[in-house]
Amino acid sequence: MWTVGAPAAGTVARMCGRYVEVSSPALLAERFHVTEVRTEQLETNYNVAPRAQVPVVAERHGERVLDLVRWGLVPFWAKDTKIGDRMINARADKLLSSNAFKRPFERKRCIVPADGFYEWQKIEGKRTKQPWFIRRRDGEPLAFAGLWETWHDPNEDDDAPPLRSCVIITTDPNELLAPIHDRMPVVLPESQWDTWLDVDNHDVAALRKLLVPFPAGELEAWAVSTLVNKADNNGPELLDPEPVPADAS
């Protein structure tokens, strides 16, 4: 693990736009206490990008279900799917004021499993941002707080299957992430999974209190190659450590 120093001057916000998903459906089902798995196989993905089909854990009829949905939430009222490209992240402090996120926050919460995620740090005097990889110290999957939604194409028949999509909620950074940028995904500890997934829980005030930074001491981060900048690059080499930039240490 590399040590991250003080924030570079002029650091700008960049939300969670890429992450890693390499755990098998069986492992995710065991880790998240899933009773129904609706996807038998997942391709290992070291560079998950928006529009990808990603696994999520949600509660349906009192059971936890693992299913695949599109990353980039498409609201039920959308005319087409293009809006989903702008809705890969949702700020925790804006959920109730957004006509895209308010309804799923109240009714359709999910967990987006991830084996780690990338964030980009602006380095003073350099045009290219430095990517970092962040994961749990114990190697367990992260449980991103997410929302899901269904959308029906208005140009198709009413009985056509709907599109299911999701968004990852972000919050203020913890002490580890703050030097890299000013947002981080909400990571839920296991003690909060039942509360978050409970479809009968409509106490939005209490739910908002869960959307806080994950303890910095339970995460680790290291600089990685700019290969991750291109979504077509995908392999374990993306996680290889790079020397810490002098202006970031």
Is residue 245 one of the residues assigned to a domain?
A: no
Is residue 10 one of the residues assigned to a domain?
A: no
Give 47's Cβ-side CA count (13 Å radius). Answer: 17
What is Dmax (Cα atoms) for the chain? 58
In whole angstroms, give the CA distance from residue 34 to residue 245.
41
Q: What does the pLDDT read at residue 246?
A: 67
CATH classification of the domain holding 30 = 3.90.1680.10
Is residue 72 one of the residues assigned to a domain?
A: yes
Beta strands 18-21 and 116-121 are antiparallel
Give 128-164 pLDDT, tens digit per residue: 999 999 999 999 999 999 999 999 998 887 778 999 9
Is residue 1 one of the residues assigned to a domain?
A: no
Between 155 and 10, the higher pLDDT residue = 155
Q: What does the pLDDT read at residue 15?
A: 61
CB 56 within 8 A of CB 67: yes
Q: What does the pLDDT read at residue 149?
A: 98
Residue 247 has pLDDT above 80, yes or no: no
Catalytic position from the list 110, 119, 149, 166: 119
Catalytic position from the list 16, 59, 149, 166: 16
Residue 41 has pLDDT above 60, yes or no: yes
Is residue 237 one of the residues assigned to a domain?
A: no
Q: What does the pLDDT read at residue 14?
A: 42
Question: In this structure, is the dihedral angle defined by the CA atoms of residues 163, 164, 165 and 169, taken in order, positive or negative?
Answer: positive
Residue 12 has pLDDT above 70, yes or no: no
Residue 9 has pLDDT above 50, yes or no: no
This prediction has a pTM of 0.91
Least confident of 12-26, 50-64, 168-182: 12-26
pLDDT band at 42 (very low <50, low <70, confident <90, very high): confident
Residue 185 has pLDDT above 50, yes or no: yes
Angle at 71 between CA 68 and CA 73, to 5 degrees: 110
Residue 107 has pLDDT above 90, yes or no: yes
If one counts the domains in the chain, the total is 1
Q: Can 119 be counted among the known catalytic residues? A: yes
Q: What does the pLDDT read at residue 249?
A: 56
Give 189-241 pLDDT, tens digit per residue: 999 999 999 999 999 999 999 999 999 999 999 999 999 999 999 999 999 99
Give 51-98 pLDDT, tens digit per residue: 999 999 999 999 999 999 999 999 999 999 999 999 999 999 999 999
Q: Can 110 be counted among the known catalytic residues? A: no
Is residue 4 one of the residues assigned to a domain?
A: no
Domain housing 220: 18-228
pLDDT band at 126 (very low <50, low <70, confident <90, very high): confident
Is residue 8 one of the residues assigned to a domain?
A: no
CB 39 within 8 A of CB 131: no
Is residue 199 one of the residues assigned to a domain?
A: yes
Q: Where do we find the tokens 């899901």? A: 148
